[in-house]
Amino acid sequence: MTDHYDVIIIGAGPGGSATGHYLAQGGLRVLLLDKATFPRDKTCGDGLTPRALRVLDDMGLLDGLQTQGQRLDRLEVFAPWGHSVAAQLPRVGAWHVYSLVVPRLVLDDTIRQRALASGAAFQGGMHVVQVEREGGGVVVKAERRGQANQFRGRMAVVATGASHKLLLTMGLLRHAPPIMLAARAYFEGMAAPPTMHLRFDGVPLPGYGWVFPLSATSANVGAGYFRAGWSARWMPDNPRQAFDHFIQTPPLRRMLDGARQVGPVKGYPLRVDFATAPTYGDHVLLVGEAAGLVNPLTGEGIDYALESGHLAASHLLAMFGAGDFSSARHAEYDHLLRARFQRLFVFCNRVRAICLNPPLLNLLVWAANRRPDLKLRLMHIVLGLRP
């Protein structure tokens, strides 16, 4: 006999698990499926912006995570020619004025455990191969250890990150979306900076490098770049090449002098196409990176995954409360996402185009050091707080 759920969530990362927490807290019967077993690592920069902290605080997780991560209240942005501008994280409304750097091995399982504590069910090792409409809901088909499984629900949420094969199979995407490519590694035994570093020096443009401290002596170090269309002609073939070049630049060589790399260099793709991406299907909502919600300027995606998960859960609870699963109610979810994120993502796409012009970037950083209003605006842009 097949169990029936109100909502089946495919992907138990931050976006999927946050959705599961809020839905279960609202009284719905929720199942989380993931191809991995937890805890599991996820290749990422590990940075949590004030946007992310606001949702984690609402979920009751922030105090505990602060004991497992590095709290930072300053950000330093480096221009292509190496000079920089640094500032305290700006206050925007009631948002936090600091960031955290927490390894995804810890973060993702913490959020998943919160969803389970709220009442969601979880099954790991499930590779979902299809989501189909059936009657008044959906059937989710998955494989585990070569055995077929089926799960039925009224609605499905897809939170599969950058992996888009399922979306292609479902017909929600017609072709592979444009992506950014990034690679990162952990280093220990170094003099980690007391700030988050976002660097446009030593990386292919449009692209960025980062140094996110995990402690006073360790950091997550990486580089990413946008490789699509006309920009692919001069970009590295793979993110490892960009990473290797980045850590051999003089500033990084000095910073990493005497440090040891812990674990391998890991590369990963990032979907940054939210401005034109689909966000829903028939009895299906997409959250986080599955909807292209990764900042096209900085590669940050955890905050948008958490926010869109919260938004999706609120909308689903309203749909269940009204008993209205019409196409118009599905489209309302897209309108909510566009109202929250569209202007910011279009703006960041335009700023990314400026990143192809090193003299202009250098001028921007130079001017920001001399104009407090411009420095504040730059911090808002980089952190995705407001255009």
What is the CATH number for 36? 3.50.50.60
pLDDT of residue 349: 84
pLDDT of residue 386: 66
**338 within a domain of the structure (yes/no):** yes
pLDDT above 70 as % of the chain = 97
Average pLDDT, the chain: 92
**60 within a domain of the structure (yes/no):** no
Count up the domains in the chain and report the number. 1
pLDDT of residue 2: 59
Entry field: residues in the chain: 387
Phi then psi dihedrals of residue 378, to 5 deg: -60, -45
pLDDT of residue 205: 86
Residue span of the structural domain in which 115 resides: 4-41+104-176+272-352
**225 within a domain of the structure (yes/no):** no
pLDDT of residue 16: 98
pLDDT of residue 1: 41
Q: Which residues of the chain have pLDDT under 50?
A: 1
Q: Which two tokens stand for residue 265?
A: 């260099």
**310 within a domain of the structure (yes/no):** yes
pLDDT tens digits along 328-383: 999 999 999 999 999 999 988 888 777 667 888 889 889 988 999 888 888 888 77
**259 within a domain of the structure (yes/no):** no
**266 within a domain of the structure (yes/no):** no
